[in-house]
Each structure stands twice: as structure tokens, then as C-alpha cells.
Structure 1
């Protein structure tokens, strides 16, 4: 007789009180306020201090140092900042997991033009003129300092919200007095080794006053009128790739089309710069065979200028153009290179930039990087000199470049049919000398340089021992160093570390700059600070002159140049050395890891190794790092760069807290996205990506909740020895050992997306879908202290410890919260799970049992197919527990022995109510789903799924009861024992 459902539900509810269901205080969701005010501080700053001072620091310390490349103290935090800091933090926490002490000192880069301009922005707007004209250098420095310090406070708060393992109060700033003094001492060391020199570099020049001008001495005329020209330069030697493209499209005569608003600089042209990241195309003359090369994005604008050309549908990658050469028809037998320049944009012009290194800073630096000479055939009066190239350009000698010189040069270019378009009334903003109120020019004048050529070989040798992730970074950094012979370290700005040079008033080439004088000045700066150097009172020079120049103050003047900010940040390794010196730590290499964006091969990675090698006393100097790790940049979900104009930017705060477009995923969600991305290339993020991240984080939280809930009543003494565990328990531990080993390997390779992929697969496929399902019956329905239940808990205990260990570097907030809800005996007095270190699971290795279960699971796959047939197609099976399984197999086979050894457990493995081996199927079954001819590992067998002949137990829901009102034998015994 069937029992009514309602009556059965009452019985089941009564017995539900006897089940040992999971119990935990661990909340289903995190609380943002608790995360920010409690969990982050404890899992980050407090943990950092605890681990750093847990053991005395010495040369014997197992110390891990990741040196922080200082972010620029200008602007709000963006997603790139978060990506960078989180990657560093995962590496630091992984090394803490290994038992190392972590030293990580966050820093900020504080000097330079952007900060100076930002600091002056409000004043400039209110005055409607350049405020640097009105303010003294010391006033500008004061404003810039205040801006940098305010920005640092804001950025620091944002970084703290990312759960970074460090003490943010123990930071370094390149504006700190001690940092500046130590930086000057590095400069002095380079000077001592004759690596500092002075030579020409383009600067603003006032032709009326015959002097170089700082930017602070300029004012801009927004209505300045210039001649602007589009000019054609024949490409004489295309690169092999470009040649192939041209031949395929029957293009014979190709000319590079440039645009310039300073045609007077054409005689000084030494290269054409393009951007290798852009796509280029060709415009063809409709009346002849002439072809012009332009950027694809600018082709329509160029065509608007001249209707005698049409677009040719050819796509030429910028990389195919670099390495080609062209000529200037005015100069006989000339040949100049086409090079890559980051400064080339596709917002105006043609995407090909006329490059004259003697007349522009971008031009200078890109040519410097490519070993191209500087030519500046213009004198102090702004007139052409006889340094002009041979040929018709000599007609320009003695002409003023901005007037008659410009007119004459256009005449010469016209003779050679080089002018594509000429705008005689190009109105634009142009710098004027604020004293003379006349337009300035840019011409090359002396600047301070570090001689990279002298240390190039040693630097390359030092990099041989450095590991690069990804490896392609090695050649990138080496190529920058190989192609660089000098490093211009002087800047004509107010906000920076001064270059300690004193110049003769009569002869600017006469300079007091030697180790003795620099040492004297450094001592003064150590006493007075760098701001004192910029005291503009004339008598101030007296205190800066070394003793041997006493009484000569009328003859000398302090230099106004400041150091390149890359020299600032490139000297920051001394902050780590200072820490080592404090504790008497001796190390061959200062930092274990430098990690920054891929653009830092040309920046911080390079400047750091150059300053370290250049200042080293060793015959074979070491790089300041053992390993360089580079990451890509953040893109939106469509693969576009993030920009305010596109409206696709995401801030770290929005990702954590959410906005109108998506729900926040918390700090661990942001960290999870960073870890699961392939950071070695550009990474996409957006609402859809974040939804998947949120789902993944929720799954992990549910998993920890399940583990905590089922470990709530076990003590250390109740853990079951390995030899008493069931086979599936041993399998779970064997698989856990392999996962642990694999994940730790991926961590060691900094391959964090593989870490998460391995763990996610294990959780979803092996734990949730198999082991947790199998053991729930034991955990909930077996006797509380039964060996079967305690065995399952023992395995869950090992899974719990291992997952806390492996996820701590990536999800410090979640693992801290889980740890807070863990039984005290498991905590063992430790404040954080990561302090327990990695788990040694090698004792659980068991290849034989894994091989056995491969066979067992193959049979389960067949059973599942049969159950699904009954569930989906015939609708006769509602639940797998309604069924029993009959397996017919050769008893001489190995598979028979495997199945027989776990006969009593098979029903739990297969989630059915019983499994019969080589038994006859009753004739009165309601249904029978069979697979007749199955071969598993060369053993033939038959599998049948039939309805159970028993009733559903109201307590465990297995079909093992005599009738529906009666408990099954197992459940009855459990209740009788209480």
C-alpha cells in the first residue's frame, strides 16, 4: 500500500532531526564593512608585521624581496594599478606560504613634469597664463610637493583596500630627503667612473635673447600662424615584408607622406617615425603611378586635401614598414631609416612623422634609441649655418629659419615635386619667449648624459643570470640596452632632484663638476635639503662653492637642471640595500623579483639595471633583480583599451563595490579576476567577465561552508589513521596530493591562471560531483562517532587545510574569514592559515588505487547513461536512489577483483540503493535498462539498471527499507545506539 505523500513527509521531517547536517557560523555572504575594517587589516598589515618579525633578520634569513616599482604620484588609482599590486601580492603571499619572511616596501615616484603641471593647473587656469612665469622655482616645488603627497595619501587608501601584504606606513618616496641624498651619491659614483658627460640635446631657444629657455619661460600664442606642409619622400629600400606586400599589389613607386608645421627643420630630417601598432594603407594617384603611404585611420582626411588620389584597399601592418629606408631628393645619394616611435599618433597628420633629432624632444629620444646622429644647423640667432647638408639646402645659409628660411625651403622642396599639400595659414598654439614676446625654436644644446656605451657589455652580462617571465622580455630589454649609447639625465624642470653642476657665467662650457665638488654639494644638501639649491638670490652661490673656489662667487652660477625621473626610480634599489645594511644582511642580488607592465623594459627595468651596474664596485656586477615579470594591460570585453571618451573604464572601487551596470564582486573577486587572467598578455574585463568571477567566488565560498559545516564536531583525536580509511577516501587523498603538487608547481612558475584552473576542475569534477556526493550519506546518516563518518571527516579535514593553504595567496580575505570560523584545534594558535605553510601530502600518493577507480568510474559512466535513459525518455526513473544495479562480469578478470574489493561501497559510488555482482535479475522488475556489450579495459561486462525491490527509508531516502514506514537496518541501528 502506498503511503500518502503528506504522511510520508511528516515521517521524513520527524527523522530529519536525527541527521547530522552541516553546522557552521560561517556566513553565506561577506560583509563589506567587516572586510574593510577587520579582515583586510588582519590579513594584510598585521600579518605582514607578524611574519616579518617572527624570526630575527640576518644573512641566514630565508628572506623574499619583491621590490615595488613606484607608481607615479599623480592621479587616481586605475585598474592597471590594481592589477600590478595584486600580482605582486600573490607572489609575496605564495612565498610566505613557503615559510619565507617577506620584505615588501611600497614606493611612489614623486618628481617630474606631469606633477609639476598638475600642481600649477589651478593657478594657471585662474590667471589664464602660465603660473610658472610668476612663481619662483621654490614656490613651484612647494606646490608640486604638496600635490604629490596628497595624491600618495589617496592612492595609499586605494591600495589598502586591495588587501596588500605590507605596511603602507613604511614606504619610500623619491621626494624624501634621504632618498634624494642617496640618489645624488649614486650620481657621484657614476661621475667618479667617468660615466657622466655633457653634450647636445634639443631645447627651447629664444633667438632674440640668444638663450635656452625652460618651459617656465614660455607662453603660448593660440593664434600663431605657420606654413604647414604634407611632403613626399620616396621609399628606396622597403623591408622584405613590405616589399612582398607591394609586389603582390603591383605597387612600384611608393612614397612616405609626412606632415609638418615646421618645414624649416626638413634639412635636419634624419628619420621618419611610424607606429608599429597601427595599420597603414596606400593612396594612388588617379593620373599616374604614384602611391602614397599613410595610416589607415587618417587616409580619409588626407584624401580630403587632394582629390587626384584614391584609396587602395591594402592593409599594411606597421611592423612591415619599420626597417625600410627612404631618401630626401634634395640631398644626393641620401638614405634614411623608417623607425618605430611611441609618440606617433593617429589623431592628426598622416601617421608618419618627420623626425629631426636636433629640433624636437620626441625626435631626439627616438633617434637616440636607434643610434641616429643629431644635426642642428642653426645658430644662436636662429639662422641656418654651413652645417647644412651638401646641395641646394646650402642656399639657406644665413636665413632666419622662421621667416625667409621657411619661404626658401618651400621653394626648394617645390622644385623636387615633394609638396603634396601646403597650408599657408595654419593656425595653432605655439610657444613664445615670454621676455621678447617672439616665437621660439627648438635647437640642440648641451645636456647631461650617462654613458651607457661604457657599461653596455657589463649590463648585458648581468642580465644573463636573470629569469624573465615571459621569456620574450629578455630580448626586449637587451635590445633597448644594445641600441642605447647614452641616457640623457638632465631635465629643464623645477620639480626634481638637482644636477649638482656649477657653471661659469662667462663660458657655459666651463663647469665645476667633479667628485670632490659633487661630494661637497651633497653634504650641503644633506644639511639643507634640495630646495635650498634652488634659492635664486645671487649671493646664495657662496655656500655651494667648494673651498678652493672661495672668493670667486661673482664668476659662477648654479645649474637649474633636474634629473630625469627614471634616474630617481632607477635608484630605488638602494631602499632595499638600506634595509639589508640595517640588519647586516648580505645578498648577492638585491631583489628576488621586479614586476611591472611590459612598457617598463624601456623604463624602470632598464634604468634600475643601468644605475646598479654603473655604480657597482664589483668586477662583474649583478643586476638588482633575479627575476623580471611583466604583465599586459587591461581592455574591455570587446578588446578595446579603456578610456573615458569611450565610457568603458572600470575602477577598482567599482569592481569591488559594484555600480549601476553590475554587482560588486568584493576585493577577493577583483583578485580572483587578476589571478585567473593570463597576465602575460592584455586582459579583458567587463560585466560579463565579472559575473563569471562572482559565480566562481560563490562556488568556493559554498565549498568552504560545506567543509566547515561537516568538521564542526570532530576533534584531533578522532581523526582516522590512513590504513583504516575506505578506498574512496584514500582515492580522494591521492587526488588531493596530485592537485596540491600541481598547484604548487604552477605557483612556482607564477602561472596563477593554471593554479585556479587546476583547483576549479578539482572542486567541480572531483569534489562536488563525486566525493562530496558519495560521502554525504555517511556524514549525515551514519552514527556520529562511527569509523565511516570520522573517515569522511578526516578526508574533509585534509581537503580543508590544503584548500586554505592553496587559496591564501589569491583570496586572503576569504581564507581569513574561513580561518576565523575554524575549530581552535585546527587553528593551532596561528592567526592566519597561510602561516601553516604548504601541506605535505606525499604520504597519500597511491597510483594503484587511482588506476582501480578509473575502471570503477568507467562503469559509473555507463550506469549514468542508463539512468538518464529512464529519467529523460521513459520518465520511469525519478531519482537514482530508486534503482539497483546488476553487473555481470568474468570472475577471472582483474576488474572483478577490483569491484569485489569495494562491493559494499559500490552503491554509494554509483548513488544507487544497491549493486549486485553476477546475480540474476528478478523477473518481476518494472523496468530494466541494460548495456549488453561493454568492454572496459579489455574486460567484457553487462550492466543493468532496474527498480529497487525495497521501499524508501524515511531517514536516509535510500530504497533499502522493508516498507515506507520502516527505517532501513542501518538507520535503525544508528538510532538504537543513541
Structure 2
């Protein structure tokens, strides 16, 4: 069709008003060229305004000030809100530039906050940063190279603090640029003295309850960082290569129940498999599964006999390139009482012990057990009182206790080689092979970790788990499956090591005896004294004040001996997950200290979500959150992980402002970034690339054109004085209000569920299908060609004003810049001109008229038949006759056209033809060039109580009249003459 917005003959005041600089210049269903401002993110809809070149930061700042963004957070905090909505900001790490993951997270939080604010709640949102820990310390030290070794603890802390502060300022600037609403002058940082002091008090609360203790246990240890790590500080490398070995432990004492099976004719070995040969010197036992079947087999190659799991006989023989003859089978429980000789330490005995962790998934069905280097191994040692001797130091190097052949060798490198050679020399090694498998790495140094026993501080997870799982039942998780994932992560955690051997962090407030290291000094008096010092001066006091000043006077007098103070400050700091996990006590408002929402990435199910839950449950037996929303990670356009080596890392600053080559990296603006975040299915992995950004920009272009049309056509309209009552409006206008109320309800429900992708889909469908492709194309004649104050035109404007209001409020949380700019240019209304200060979507129950759907949809069925018969032609060149047999359908359509023939009826407007005729029976005479179309329509009203299927015909003929030069309908009696309607309008003005 050629029907669109074009220049028409001027001459009428209404026409002049409609064609003022507010009027759109292109069809709303086909976006016109983008203005430079749109490319910048502040997507201008200012009518008639075209920017040349991109506005700079000062211009953007002025726009933000005009919208009042900087004062919005403080304004809403001061108002009397019905409810309080608290979204607790999980602290991003202050160790780098803002990245696309930050954008996803912060924009999601801002959309949620703005929605709840518009619903009338007072928003409590305090942005924060996680500022301590290994990653920052490693970055600082790596920049210094060899000089780092000469730095004192305080020099390291000062450099780390400066680094964190610089990162915070960079990130904060980006978050403001993305439109995130907050009081940016009052944020929280985990290195603030008051924050650190509260954290120390939480630590003591847990210690006093017996939930924190010091013990010698195996923990994940990073030789490259020389510190213990929590599970959340690990990342797994699926391509790690280990040197796995099959080896035998000579059977020394046969199990009593199997003594009769062993004739002594050939040696018997217990066969084991391990991917960590370096742990063999620390072996203390061999474990078996009492419930499984085992076999005594004879090797056809060597004649040796081995004990292995019965179901592993065939795969083991294949792996060792031999054959096994099964001489007997027996229950695992029959191995009780047996023992082996350690292959590398002849005078050492390794007993055979039952264990629940032994599986048949891999290996031989018997597990080499080194309690100093395995969590399950340690459990066996605790149960059977085995030694937990560690012969590996903080650098991951064998100590002198490992013997001269191994001393000073790195266990993951030459140490492994040395152990394998020793096993070969004593003929215990059956086979070595390389194994590619998933292996834990230090999340910052990107180097492999080991499990190593050391003295650390732990949280008794087992004592907290039952209550933690119970309180989680009252927490809403979005998506629901995240609850199971969090419980699973909790179940897999045997204990939580909260001590680290670094200096950039909060000290564990404990003093150790000078000579008896296991003897600690900690009490409510000592911790409170330290907390007060930290509150005033920061945690640097632990390193700057003499020990005597770190203790209160009443305690100092009790622990001072003839040679001075008997206790010295400990050198461990708290795990940064304990740092951030106690943020609920420092940030959340009121005595309840519970947030309505925690919103972070899925990695936090084992990280911040969990540490927050554990500390809160430990301190006060309740969760710190009511709802937990979990989003996925950002990936490249093809679903691949973003990495610098692949060249697919997307910088949010480049998305907004463009790259160096703006042909390949054009500036999309903040609105496009926010739209992409909202429309993504954030509950799974989120992909981003040029096509996704281009699609988001195209969506916003269409939205902007829709807004231009709406703004342009409510010019000269005052809703307070010019609105038409609903019952007096055109049916099509009432129908649009009916759809609008449905949209408002669905959008509101989607926001309630934090399903912002659904909000975007609802809006896209409405402004493209219902508005641009349908309603706008129908009403243009009424808008541009009727008198300015004609009730028919006012009816339409009443609807447009309501659509504009609902539409802008619906997308305001997602596109705040665009929404505020629309409000700044409304041609009516009172102060304040801010969508965020005037509430959420408001609709009326009288808009809901389901019966109208039958009227409009039946007419649209006939309209579609007509338009489908004239592809590519102008509908106004034709006249339409609709024939409907008497009945319910005829009565419905008659609502749209009371007279038999009309060029100005609601039916003719809907059909978009120049003239419509409605008949109850076919005309006696037909023009020779008529096109006949037929169909049926099922009327279904009152929930199915009223059902009637009626037939109709649509007769299409070329118009016999001339084209009116003003309205372009073929309704004029002569060429260059106005049609009767236009003549009346122009004559009246």
C-alpha cells in the first residue's frame, strides 16, 4: 500500500497543527535514519530536532541533570513510601576495568529498583565493592616484579588500597554512565574501618558459639600464591594433563578371612591407581568398599597376584595390556584386618580400611589414601587415628621429611618425576599414562593447586547446614532450579577454610603463644578492643601498632611475663568470601537486616550467596535474603566464552561510545546496552555480539518512531479538557484501550517476576503489531483530515494520550533516558515532568471490554480479505460492499456503520477503503469489474454461551469517484475538488 504520511495541501488550522514540527515525517512502522543523539544512548525523540555530530560528556551530563537522575535516589528516599524495597548489591571486585558482566548485573538491578520505585516503594540500594584479597595483592606485586620481595606488609597494603580505589572510581563512573540509580557519594567498601569492625564482631560471634575453630587439615593450597584457597576461589581447567600411574602395594599381612586363599606360591599386591603420584610418599592406608565384590587375579605376564575390584578386572587387564585369571572372588568386607608394605618406605605399614568414598567409576576399586592431601582421606585418618603428616611446604616443594631423593623438588613438576622413578626402581610401577582431565587451578594465578594439610581457621559447616537448608525453604529462587543448585553446592562443602596467608585483608583477631603455637588468645574483650581500633583507624593497626596496644589493659596485665608479652598477633587474614559474606550486617537497614532481593551471577551460588547465608545463619539463624535471582554469564555471539585470545571480548564503553574504527565498532549508546540486557534470557547464558546489538538498536529505532508519532499527534490536546468519555469513543479506540489494559497487566506481572525479557517481548509486539502495523495506519485519516476539535479526532487523541502514558511508563525502568526525555516534551501535564516521580502505569477497569474483540476481529477478518485481494495497491482506490446474512455478526458490524453506505464511518476507516456499504443481502446488480471474496466468522461470547457462525461476502470494486487532493480518498465528485468532508472542514475554518 502507498498509504502513508505525506505532504498534503495546507489550508486548515487542524492540518497545520498536525503538521507542526512535532509531526512525524516517516511511517512509524519503518524507522527513519538515526539521529546522532540516538547513537549516543540518550535516544532523542525531540520533534524536529536533529543533532549533527555526537554530543560529548558535558552534553550527556546536562541531559542527565535535566532528567534529575542525580537527585532521583535521594528524592525517593525522602518521600513517604508505602513500602521499603531493599536490593542488596553484591560487591563487584575492585581489581579491573568495568566489563560486560558488570553491565549485565548492574543494569538488571537498576531495572528492578526503578520498577519498584515507580510502584511507590522507597528503594534501599547501596552500591559496594569487594576490596581485599589475593587477586588485588597479586596484581600489585606482579607489577613490581623482583622489587615485591622487599616490600613490608604495610607497603603492600598501601599499594593494594590505592589500586582498589582507582578501580572503584573507574567502575563507578561506568555504572553512572549506564544510568544506574544510587547515591554514589555513599557506597560501601570492604576496606572501610566501620565495615571491617562489624566483620570482626561477626567473626567473634561465630567463634563464641563454637562455629569457628583452628585445626590442622588438608585444604586447597595454591603454591603459586602460597596461601590456602576456598572452593569459590578455584576454577577448573578441563585440559589439565596429569601423569597417572598404576602401582602395587605388596600385601604384608593377609586379611584373616582370606588367609586360606593365599598359598604363598607367588607374591600378592594390592593394585591402586592415582593421578597424583607425588602423594604416594604420604600414603597412610589403602581403602576399599565393604559392599563391593573383589577378586584375586593372576597376571598371565608376570605370574604375580593382585587384589582388585571384581568389576574392574577386564578394564584393568586391557589398560595394562595383559590378561588376568580370576582365582577367587570375595566381599570387600573380607579385606578387613589386612595390611600392605609401603612401596617406598619398607618399614612403614599401610592398613586396608573400609571407606564410603570408594567408587568403581575409575581406577581399581582400591584407593591410595594420603590424609595430608585429600579431604576424604583426612576423614578416614580421623576415624582410624592415622597420622596426617605433610611433607610439602607452602611453595609446593617437598621438605626434608620427604627424604633426600625428594627434598626441594616441586611436587607438581620434578617431584612427580622423582616419585615415578623411585616406584620404577622398586618394581612397584605397573604403568604410567597421561590423563587429560578437569583439575582445580588458582583463579588468579591460573596455575594448578594442590591439597595440603596446614593449620587453618575453619567454619563448622556441618553445624550450620541443617538450619541453612531449612531457612532456604522460605526463600524464593528465580529460576526455581537455582535452589537445588545452591543446596547441592552446600552439601558438597565439607568445611569452610576462612584463613589466608596474605597481608591485604582483615586480620583474624587472634594472638598466638610465643612457644606454644596451638595456644590462642581470643575473647570478647580482646576482639571488641581490636574492633574499636579498626573502626577508628582501619585494619592497618594490626600491622602498625605494637602488640601491647592491640590488647586491652585488663588483658595485657594477665598475659605479660618477665620477658614481655607472651602472645603475638597472628599473621592470617580472613577469606574475602567472609569479607563480603558479612555485608548484610554492615549494609542492610533496620534490625531485621534482610534484603528483599539478592541478584548476582550463577557462580555466586557457591560464592557470595552461600557465604552470606552461612554467616547470617551462624550469627542469627536466618537468611539475609527473601528472594534470590540468579543470572547466567555473558558469552560471545556463537555461545563461546569471551576471551582476549579469541578477540570476542566486548567492552561496554565501546558499545556506548564506539571503538577506534566506528565503521566496525559503531556507537550504540546506553539505551541499546540496557535494552540488550533487558531482552536477554538472563536466566541462562547471555550472548552478545554485533548482531545482537544491531537488533537492539533497530528495536529502539522502531520504538522511537512510534513515540514520535504519538507525541506529534497529541499536540494541541489537553487530556483534562479534551478527552472523550470511553463510551462515546470510536469502537476501534475503545478496542485499543481494551488491549492497552491487557498489556499493562501483563507487563506489570512480568516485572513482578523480574522477567524483563518478557516485558520487552510484550512491548515489541504491541508497538510494532498493534500500533504501527494496525492502529496507526487506520487512524491517520481521522487525525489529519478531521477538524482539530472534532469529537472523532478527540476520541483518537484520547486513546493516543493513554497509549503514550502507558507505553512510556512500561519501558521507563529499562530505558530511563528515553522515558524522561519523552516526559520532558509532553505538550501537556504539570510538574514534575518526570516519569519516575509520577508513579506506575494507571488504567481504568472500564477499558476492559472483551465483547469489542468480536466486533473488531470480525471486521479485521473482512479487512484482511479485502487487502489481500489488492496486493501492492492503495486501498483508497476501491469501494467495498460487505454482505452479511441477518444475525449476530450483522448486528456487531452494524455497530461500526449505522448507515448503509459511508465514506466516514468507523467501518470504512477500519477497512481503509474510500467507501463502505453494509448489506444484509446481496445487491441485485453488480459492476462488471467486481471481485467477490467470501468467508465465515465464529462469534463466541459470554464464555461460549453465545456461539454463532455466520457467512459474509466482501465485494471489491474500483472507486467511481475522483481523488480528493486533501485527504487522498477517492470521494470527490470532480478532479481537483475537495470531497464533501474536506470541504466542510476547510470551509468551517
Query: Is this a same-fold pair by TM over 0.5?
Result: yes
Pick closer, same or farther for the CA change 1:102–1:22 going to 2, 3 Å: farther
Instruction: Report the Cα offset of residue 654 of structure 1.
Output: 1.4
Query: Which residue number in structure 2 is paired with residue 959 of structure 1?
Result: 970
Query: Which residue number in structure 2 is paired with residue 145 of structure 1?
Result: 161
Instruction: Report the Cα offset of residue 645 of structure 1.
Output: 0.5
Query: Which residue number in structure 1 is paired with residue 713 of structure 2?
Result: 710
Q: 2:91 aligned with 1:90, yes or no?
A: no
Query: Which residue number in structure 2 is paired with residue 75 of structure 1?
Result: 96
Distance 2:938 2:596 in 1: 51
Instruction: Report the Cα offset of residue 412 of structure 1.
Output: 4.0
Q: 2:184 aligned with 1:173, yes or no?
A: no
Pick closer, same or farther for the CA change 1:754–1:376 going to 2, 3 Å: farther
Q: Secondary structure at the match of 1:714?
A: coil
Instruction: Write out per-residue CA displacement over residues 777-802 of structure 1, whole angstroms, 9 at most, x where no aligned residue.
Output: 11111000110111111000100110
Distance 1:536 1:542 in 2: 10
> For residues 580-729 of structure 1, what are the structure 2 equivalents within 5 Å?
580=590, 588=592, 590-616=594-620, 621-659=621-659, 660=661, 661-715=664-718, 716-729=720-733
Pick closer, same or farther for the CA change 1:672–1:447 going to 2, 3 Å: same
> For residues 241-640 of structure 1, what are the structure 2 equivalents within 5 Å?
260=276, 262=278, 264=280, 267=283, 332=352, 379=389, 410-412=421-423, 415-421=427-433, 443-535=452-544, 546-549=555-558, 551-552=560-561, 553-577=564-588, 579-580=589-590, 588=592, 590-616=594-620, 621-640=621-640
Distance 1:173 1:568 in 2: 10
Distance 1:370 1:85 in 2: 46
1:593 and 1:627 in contact (8 A); partners too: yes
Once superposed, what is the RMSD of the aligned Cα atoms? 4.1
Which of 70, 77, 80 pairs up with 1:45? 70
Q: 2:918 aligned with 1:917, yes or no?
A: yes
1:830 and 1:836 in contact (8 A); partners too: no
1:26 and 1:818 in contact (8 A); partners too: no
Distance 2:222 2:968 in 1: 94
1:36 and 1:161 in contact (8 A); partners too: no
Instruction: Write out per-residue CA displacement over residues 112-170 of structure 1, whole angstroms, 9 at most, x where no aligned residue.
Output: 0110111222222xxxx2x4431111111111111111110111111111100111111
Distance 1:412 1:751 in 2: 59
Instruction: Report the Cα offset of residue 192 of structure 1.
Output: 2.0
Q: 2:820 aligned with 1:816, yes or no?
A: yes
2:191 and 2:538 in contact (8 A); partners too: no
Instruction: Report the Cα offset of residue 862 of structure 1.
Output: 1.3
Instruction: Report the Cα offset of residue 91 of structure 1.
Output: 0.5
1:108 and 1:173 in contact (8 A); partners too: yes
Instruction: Write out per-residue CA displacement over residues 418-473 of structure 1, whole angstroms, 9 at most, x where no aligned residue.
Output: 432599xxxxx99xxxxxxxxx9984122111222222222222211110000011
Q: Secondary structure at the match of 1:896?
A: helix
Pick closer, same or farther for the CA change 1:114–1:898 going to 2, 3 Å: same
> For residues 928-947 of structure 1, what are the structure 2 equivalents within 5 Å?
928-932=930-934, 934=936, 937=939, 938-947=949-958
Instruction: Report the Cα offset of residue 543 of structure 1.
Output: 6.7
Query: Which residue number in structure 2 is paired with residue 221 of structure 1?
Result: none
Instruction: Write out per-residue CA displacement over residues 795-848 of structure 1, whole angstroms, 9 at most, x where no aligned residue.
Output: 00100110111111100011011111112x424434335533221332211011
Q: Secondary structure at the match of 2:61?
A: helix
1:376 and 1:443 in contact (8 A); partners too: no
Query: Which residue number in structure 2 is paired with residue 976 of structure 1?
Result: 987
2:736 and 2:799 in contact (8 A); partners too: yes
Distance 1:116 1:521 in 2: 24
1:359 and 1:376 in contact (8 A); partners too: no
Query: Which residue number in structure 2 is paired with residue 874 of structure 1?
Result: none
Pick closer, same or farther for the CA change 1:759–1:541 going to 2, 3 Å: closer
Instruction: Write out per-residue CA displacement over residues 741-762 of structure 1, whole angstroms, 9 at most, x where no aligned residue.
Output: 1111111111111111111111
2:679 and 2:760 in contact (8 A); partners too: yes
2:655 and 2:673 in contact (8 A); partners too: yes
Q: 2:881 aligned with 1:886, yes or no?
A: yes
Q: Secondary structure at the match of 1:468?
A: strand
Q: 2:808 aligned with 1:804, yes or no?
A: yes
2:244 and 2:277 in contact (8 A); partners too: no
1:501 and 1:558 in contact (8 A); partners too: yes
Instruction: Report the Cα offset of residue 538 of structure 1.
Output: 7.3
Instruction: Report the Cα offset of residue 411 of structure 1.
Output: 4.2
2:247 and 2:428 in contact (8 A); partners too: no
Pick closer, same or farther for the CA change 1:420–1:507 going to 2, 3 Å: same
Distance 2:115 2:581 in 1: 26
Pick closer, same or farther for the CA change 1:230–1:152 going to 2, 3 Å: same
Distance 2:602 2:221 in 1: 36
Q: 2:139 aligned with 1:121, yes or no?
A: no
Query: Which residue number in structure 2 is paired with residue 901 of structure 1?
Result: 895
1:378 and 1:443 in contact (8 A); partners too: no
Distance 1:368 1:174 in 2: 34
Aligned length: 817
1:733 and 1:795 in contact (8 A); partners too: yes
Instruction: Write out per-residue CA displacement over residues 908-927 of structure 1, whole angstroms, 9 at most, x where no aligned residue.
Output: 10111111122766968473
Instruction: Write out per-residue CA displacement over residues 547-578 of structure 1, whole angstroms, 9 at most, x where no aligned residue.
Output: 3425334422110100000111111112334x
Distance 1:777 1:204 in 2: 74
Instruction: Report the Cα offset of residue 259 of structure 1.
Output: 5.0
Query: Which residue number in structure 2 is paired with residue 312 of structure 1?
Result: none
Pick closer, same or farther for the CA change 1:477–1:18 going to 2, 3 Å: closer
Query: Please, which runs of 5 or more residues in structure 2 have no aligned partner?
Result: 1-5, 23-45, 229-240, 249-270, 288-300, 303-318, 323-339, 344-349, 394-400, 410-414, 436-440, 443-448, 898-904, 940-948
Distance 1:760 1:463 in 2: 37
1:734 and 1:844 in contact (8 A); partners too: yes
Query: Which residue number in structure 1 is paired with residue 36 of structure 2?
Result: none
Q: Secondary structure at the match of 2:639?
A: coil
Query: Which residue number in structure 1 is paired with residue 773 of structure 2?
Result: 769
Distance 2:77 2:88 in 1: 15
Pick closer, same or farther for the CA change 1:75–1:261 going to 2, 3 Å: farther
Query: Which residue number in structure 2 is paired with residue 21 of structure 1?
Result: 19
Pick closer, same or farther for the CA change 1:442–1:695 going to 2, 3 Å: closer
Instruction: Report the Cα offset of residue 51 of structure 1.
Output: 1.2
1:110 and 1:148 in contact (8 A); partners too: yes
Distance 2:368 2:724 in 1: 76
Instruction: Report the Cα offset of residue 375 of structure 1.
Output: 11
Instruction: Write out per-residue CA displacement over residues 150-201 of structure 1, whole angstroms, 9 at most, x where no aligned residue.
Output: 1101111111111001111110000001100111111121122121111124
Instruction: Report the Cα offset of residue 485 of structure 1.
Output: 4.4
Instruction: Report the Cα offset of residue 888 of structure 1.
Output: 1.6
Instruction: Write out per-residue CA displacement over residues 648-673 of structure 1, whole angstroms, 9 at most, x where no aligned residue.
Output: 01011111123342432211111101
Query: Which residue number in structure 1 is paired with residue 126 of structure 2?
Result: 105
Pick closer, same or farther for the CA change 1:835–1:374 going to 2, 3 Å: farther
Pick closer, same or farther for the CA change 1:408–1:573 going to 2, 3 Å: closer
Instruction: Report the Cα offset of residue 735 of structure 1.
Output: 0.6
